[in-house]
Structure 1
Amino acid sequence: MGTLAIGPLFLAGHSRGGKLSVLAAAAFSAASTIPAGSPIWLPAEPVAVATGTDFQQQQEQEQQLSFVSGIILLDPADGSFEPQDPNQYPSALAALQNHPSLADVPVLIVGARRGGDCVPRAKNYEAFFKACRGQCTRVTLQDAGHLQFLDQSDSLQQSICAVGRGLSNSRVAAVSGRLAAAFIHKVAGGGPVMATAGPLPPAESGGSSKTGRRGVSCSSSNALERLYEEQLREAGVRYEVQVSGCSEGVKG
């Protein structure tokens, strides 16, 4: 059988697709520790990643799989309101918090502030951000609803999940896509993600800068920070940005 050539690999998903992206990232990272030449069996169903490429069934890997380069979560949900058996429905939050290889995987989380009627608070984008142990950035779209990341939703879905407040689906999709593109561009280019993960203002003259994880200044200002802020402002959305390990976020 042919080999599976992998360059920079990004996983992305919306709602429970975000949950699956985290679980898949953990699976890929675990597979990367298997010696070269060992058979790697991929899921029977095609798995969609950031590029939309479908993986063929039961590919045999002759080289080591690379670690996942990054994860993009669009208003992720770890489950529904009713209790679920963890043996049948493994938690992405637990994987994100406890899987050692995910601690170094950059994560971009774009959350919908008005998504609480569809996603339990204990399993929503905030929970994913809190579970993240490494290089995570959370961008909250203050007026977006959970289903606005989709091209369209029917009347039944809209009656269950809150729609955006003065914010169209197309605008939510556009700003999310731009943020994801900036994230992928920086990560694939090998730049320092923690130092460039969000639109944080420079430290005021005479003030002290806050420091986040891995000793990175939370008040650093650089190209990707400016790019994130530019995308959000151009889209005309109200937002909040928080970088993991930093006590203060940025609102706009």
Structure 2
Amino acid sequence: MSQTVDRALSILPLLAEGPADLGQVAARLGVHKSTALRLLRTLHEHGLVHRQRDQRYRLGARLFALAQEAAENLDVREIAHPHLVRLNEDTGHTVHLAVREGDQVLYIDKVESRYPVRLYSRIGRPVAITVAAVAKVILADLPEPERHALTARLDYPAYTSRSTPDAAAFRAELAAVREQGWAVDLGGHEESVNCVAAPVRGPDGAVVAALSVSAPHVVASAGELLALLPRVRRTARAVSDDCSGRTPPEDTTPPEDTTPPEET
């Protein structure tokens, strides 16, 4: 990278900490004030920094507009798909990606299991929102008032004996999911199918999607599927990093307690 471009870009993180004057910018860059001034003027012309009346500089409105535009045009499905394929190759099980649209959570991508027993799920089709692991991950991230209002207007079908019975139980489960950072569906929609899911986060840290691994009992037990949870979470973090343009940090996630709940 050119030294001039490198210095100009180095100004932006400095101003993200708060307004700074010319001397502070020059000192941080290790350059003469005249050099810092030229860089600031160029950034100012492009709307990336703004000079205040007190002669200090702050981040410009154009920078925020660009960030918002980038976020709005983010294609999480395109970004996530290679990760879903790798997760499917590693596990052999069905992998889904889902997003929220209004009061529904929809599958927007799917990589089929390599096993002959397949799951009946389709891209573009809503999930069973009160039991699906992907739905729990997405709804758990909502602000509490919005989460409360949504859970109050949902219906709670008894798909199986493990289905979520009512709004109070669903809120309690979402609170637990929000705390732990992952969700499961152990026979809540279909007695014979289990699922584990983790959140995909956008540049602002909010959950923008959820990815999951699902398998029927005849292919993988609940315990075997839960043992894949660390891998599912790593994949979700990798998608999140790609969505946000971050360099992935070293993985220091402690082992999960993935003991399946006792049968009832």
TM-score band, normalised by shorter chain = under 0.3
TM-score (norm 2): 0.25
Larger radius of gyration between Structure 1 and Structure 2: 2
Bigger fraction of residues in helix? 2
Bigger fraction of residues in strand? 2
